[in-house]
Amino acid sequence: MLRITGYIEKDPETGLYVAVVPGIPGARTQAETLD
């Protein structure tokens, strides 16, 4: 089974949620909500 860890943080300056998957180039996104 392959396990991949991602991180979600809320940027205090912009208020946006930012998600990143380390080790996978380009695997990042941002949004105003977690929905």
What is the total count of domains within the chain?
A: 1
How far is residue 2 from each of residues 5, 12, 24, 30, measured CA to CA in Å? 10, 32, 13, 24
Where in the sequence is the domain holding 31, given as residue range(s)? 1-35
What pLDDT, on the 0 to 100 scale, is given for residue 33? Answer: 97
pLDDT, tens digit, 9 for 90 and up, residues 14-28: 999 999 999 999 999
Partner residues linked to 7 by β-bridges: 20
Amino acid at 4: I
- Percentage above 70 pLDDT, the chain: 100
User: Closest by alpha carbon to 29, among 2, 4, 11, 3?
Assistant: 11
Average per-residue pLDDT in the chain? Answer: 97
Q: What predicted TM-score, i.e. pTM, was given to this entire model?
A: 0.75
| DSSP structural state of residue 5 | -
